[in-house]
Amino acid sequence: MGKKKIRQEKDSLGTVEVPEDAYFGAGTQRAVDNFPISGLNMPIPMIRSLALVKKGASKVNQRLGLLDEKIAGAIANAAQEVMDGQFDDQFVVDVFQTGSGTSTNMNMNEIIASRANETLTGKKGGKSPVHPNDHVNLGQSSNDVIPSAIHISARLMIKNDLLPSLAFLHNTLNDKASEFSKVKKIGRTHLQDAVPMSLGQEFSGYCRQVDLGIKRTESASRDLEELALGGTAVGNGLNTHPEFAKNIIGFISDQTGIGFREAENHFEAQGARDAVVFVSGALKTLAVSMAKIANDIRWLGSGPRCGLGEILLPSLQPGSSIMPGKINPVIPEAVVQASAQVIGNDTTIMLGGQGGNFELNAMLPVIAYNILQSIQLLSSSATVFAEKCIQGLTADSRICSENIDKSLALATYLVPDLGYDRASQIAKKAHKTGRTIKEIVMEEKILSEEDFNRLFKGL
């Protein structure tokens, strides 16, 4: 195996050896060499959104007379190639880096400059004719670009991935609520028998949880539409054209179909990450809802003979390496685990939000990683849950009916005619003798047949 070819590049700290096939330069290589903490890289949606910012900046700076047409065009084309996924393997900086995300921003600037230079001169790398700072980063700072890219990528993922997935789950649960509307079953409170209800009513509760999750997520995500672009280093817009923010945000809005707008206060937009914290809270609530639904479904499907067994889950894979024929609730368990990860991510994001010291939040990369992972996990979980589990659920009407007949909670139906104490005595006797409430009432002629039918109508 041959020795990997390298090239030498200079930056302000000296000469650095960079892989010959790399589009990134000396600055990024130093970050790679010096900070190999986790091996985790910035999520691709974040990279694509950052490239969109660079493309927009090049076009706006040309329009404002700040960039030569040839240089601006080369930058825009290179940024588009990044957005198309041609350089995904070149974004090598660890998530755990400088808190402003400067390393990722410079990784992007260097790749775009390198590719633009290759287009213009036939040679990748270097700083001429396209300079990563002077040209690609013109009118920007990591401190306004990275927060903006977080907002753009999160808002896009919520719109394009999460909300459609949740709508699919909602509709699937709604279909099951209708399908199970006539299946009577015993309700449960405190894990004890409660009064009868329908399986459809139970599923309608799950459906409403998802519906509310959609509404909360939609509402919270609107705050992400405020962008910090134009604030540069501390929020006062130093070294950027006064028309830059309005124009680049207009470009991003046109490209995404989302009504992004300039931050009302740039000092808030760069010093705090409250909008992301708020969105993460909505995602955490959604994760809690999905875990509740998934847990209920695996309990309702427990068995097949020694559990509740009121519903039958689709069989996806052998569930045991030692017990033949055992089938486990694979998808609900996967959803519960994904939900736990999202809940943990929210804690990290909350702590990240506290990392806003004066004019800059210094935990941007870890916030970006966690919020985008949460959106991706919930999107995938909702789709898989609906497609691989909910759609294939069937009700075991026989077990549901038998559970109602056996339940001592049927004594509740006697209270209007017999009172609480008398009904309680009947329930205790039924439990002691192993008979049902109905059997006790009929055998001891406690009620007339007419009253009995009136009280237990529909059961």
Give the burial class of 304: count Cβ atoms within 10 A of its Cβ; 0-12 exposed, 13-18 middle, 19 or more buried: middle
Q: Alpha-carbon distance 205 to 200, whole Å?
A: 9
Q: Alpha-carbon distance 276 to 284, whole Å?
A: 12
Instruction: Give the helix ranges, DSSP H, for 224-300.
Output: 244-256, 266-271, 274-300
Candidates 239, 245, 193; CA nearest to 60 is 245
**Which residue bears the tokens 């990784």?**
107
Q: Alpha-carbon distance 421 to 382, whole Å?
A: 47
In order of 262, 337, 354, the CA distances from 358 in angstroms are: 20, 37, 11
Give the burial class of 54: count Cβ atoms within 10 A of its Cβ; 0-12 exposed, 13-18 middle, 19 or more buried: buried
3-state percent helix, strand, coil for the chain, nearest multiple of 5:
60, 10, 30
User: Could you tell me which residues come within 8 angstroms of residue 17 by beta carbon, excluding any fewer than 6 positions away?
Assistant: 6, 7, 8, 29
Q: Alpha-carbon distance 90 to 23, whole Å?
A: 7
Q: Alpha-carbon distance 187 to 196, whole Å?
A: 5
| CB distance 371 to 345 below 8 Å | yes
Q: Alpha-carbon distance 376 to 381, whole Å?
A: 8
Candidates 232, 303, 315; CA nearest to 269 is 232
| CB distance 92 to 38 below 8 Å | no
User: Could you tell me which residues come within 8 angstroms of residue 332 by beta carbon, excluding any fewer than 6 positions away?
Assistant: 294, 295, 297, 298, 313, 385, 389
Residue 71 has, within 13 A of its CA and on its CB side, a CA count of 22
Give the burial class of 242: count Cβ atoms within 10 A of its Cβ; 0-12 exposed, 13-18 middle, 19 or more buried: exposed
Q: Which residues are catalytic?
A: 190, 320
Q: Alpha-carbon distance 410 to 439, whole Å?
A: 11
> Can you say whether the dihedral through the CA atoms of 378, 380, 381, 386 is positive or negative?
positive
Radius of gyration of the chain (CA): 30
